Amino acid sequence: MNDELHEEIRAAVGAILKGRTTGGFDAALWKDLADTGFHLLGVPEEVGGSGGGLRDLAVVVDLVAFHAAGAPIAESAFLAGWLLARAGLDVPDGLVVASLDEIEAHRRGGPLLLSGRAAVPWARHADHVVTLARDGDDLFVAVVPVGEVEQAENLAGEPRDTAVLDDVEAVASAPVGIDADELRLRGALARSVQLAGAARAVLESTRQYVAEREQFGRPLARFQAVQQHLAALAAEVTAMRISADAALLAVEAHDRAEVAVAAAKAAASAGAHVVATIGHQLHGALGYSAEHHLGAATTRLWSWREEFGNEAHWQDRLAAAVAEQGSWWSTVSGGTR
């Protein structure tokens, strides 16, 4: 049943995304996603989302990454929606994105006031920011309107802004039992799904190019060396997808999520280098032109590889988590032989 539903989601969202590639925010695309409810898929209906599960949302995240579309679905539904749901807060009107940092907060006999600087991707286009806010020993999820924004971009041209808050009043807040580390894990999971989607775009583009491009009177795909590179590329893309899928299942089951997410992000970040390298090697100089869609995928691979921790960070974290659990066999098998 889930497979059938995912195919329906894939077809519907794919039709919306077809032909739309941009490094910046695509307001028309976001409106189309919002009109169909896909922008809040995976967020519970009780807080104003569209319902559905994590893997339903992951289908949309994967497709947006595959098309290199200018839609902050990861920062909105995957992160901000998750924070709101965990705190039991309603989704505010407009575009809402998540802060990647914990912000200092205090009360002066009234609403929560937030001050500080926080990394907020896509902040310049958002109406509200959802953030973790700390008031002494108490941790909250808070919703604040977007105010002062320092703009920046990653290598792919995606907004990687900084929000500056000075006693900004939260329009909604609630205590929550999560912390910045759990948010980082969630972000790493989102980027793992996105990396797998962008890697699939590189594979598809490369397959098509070597099948059509001819040298010495025959398609590039007929040369053994090219076939070997293409096989290595396909294997890497498959490994990235399987690792991301395994992490999604683990998080849905609340079982060994840290190990699964660490493994997925380590595999995805390491795979990003291999995929981008082979993709550009087989495309030649054409792949570096601004007009070619390969660059939209590989610049995202290079950017997302580092965001929420690169492969070295997550390999270290994976090793520490496994060592803490003790038995490697029980970690990978769930305790059964």
Q: Contact at 8 Å (CB) between 280 and 293?
A: no
Same domain, yes or no: 80 and 186: no
Residue-level pLDDT at 139:
95
Residue-level pLDDT at 301:
97
Residue-level pLDDT at 21:
66
Same domain, yes or no: 329 and 186: yes
Which H helix or E strand runs over 7?
Answer: helix 2-17
Which H helix or E strand runs over 97?
Answer: strand 96-107
* CATH code where residue 324 lies: 1.20.140.10
* Encoded tokens for 81: 């929606």
Same domain, yes or no: 69 and 46: yes
Bridge partners (DSSP) of residue 139 are: 134
Query: Cα–Cα distances in Å, from 28 out to 69, 255, 313?
Result: 11, 39, 37
Residue-level pLDDT at 328:
73
Query: Cα–Cα distances in Å, from 111 out to 101, 302, 326?
Result: 20, 41, 45
* Encoded tokens for 3: 């497979």
Q: Is the pTM of this model over 0.85?
A: yes
Q: Determine how many CB atoms are found less than 10 A away from the CB of residue 255.
A: 11
Same domain, yes or no: 212 and 324: yes
Strand pairing report for 138-145 and 214-215 = unpaired
Determine the structural domain holding residue 113 and report its residue range.
2-175
What is the distance between the alpha carbons of residues 123 and 159, in angstroms, rounded to a whole number?
8
Same domain, yes or no: 327 and 229: yes
318-337 exposure pattern, b = at least 16 Cβ within 10 A, e = fewer: beebbeeeeeeeebeeeeee
Q: Contact at 8 Å (CB) between 308 and 189?
A: no
Number of domains in the chain: 2
Same domain, yes or no: 220 and 265: yes
Same domain, yes or no: 25 and 167: yes
Out of 138, 154, 175, a domain closes at 175
* CATH code where residue 163 lies: 2.40.110.10
Same domain, yes or no: 196 and 253: yes
Same domain, yes or no: 80 and 149: yes
Out of 112, 143, 175, a domain closes at 175
Q: Which residue has the tokens 């539903």?
A: 5
Same domain, yes or no: 102 and 128: yes
Same domain, yes or no: 214 and 277: yes
257-283 vs 311-325: helix crossing angle, rounded to 10: 150
- The SS3 of residue 9 is helix
- The SS3 of residue 166 is strand
Q: Determine how many CB atoms are found less than 10 A away from the CB of residue 245.
A: 18
Out of 131, 147, 175, a domain closes at 175
Count CA within 13 A, CB hemisphere, residue 181: 6
Same domain, yes or no: 131 and 113: yes
Q: Mind listing the pLDDT tens digit of every residue in the chain (337 residues)?
A: 478 889 999 999 999 998 776 668 999 999 999 999 999 999 999 999 999 999 999 999 999 999 999 999 999 999 999 999 999 999 999 999 999 999 999 987 888 999 999 999 999 999 999 999 999 999 999 999 999 999 999 999 999 999 999 999 999 999 999 889 999 999 999 999 999 999 999 999 999 987 877 677 788 767 778 789 899 999 999 999 999 999 999 999 975 689 999 999 999 999 999 999 999 998 887 767 666 789 999 999 999 999 999 999 999 999 998 888 777 777 777 644 4
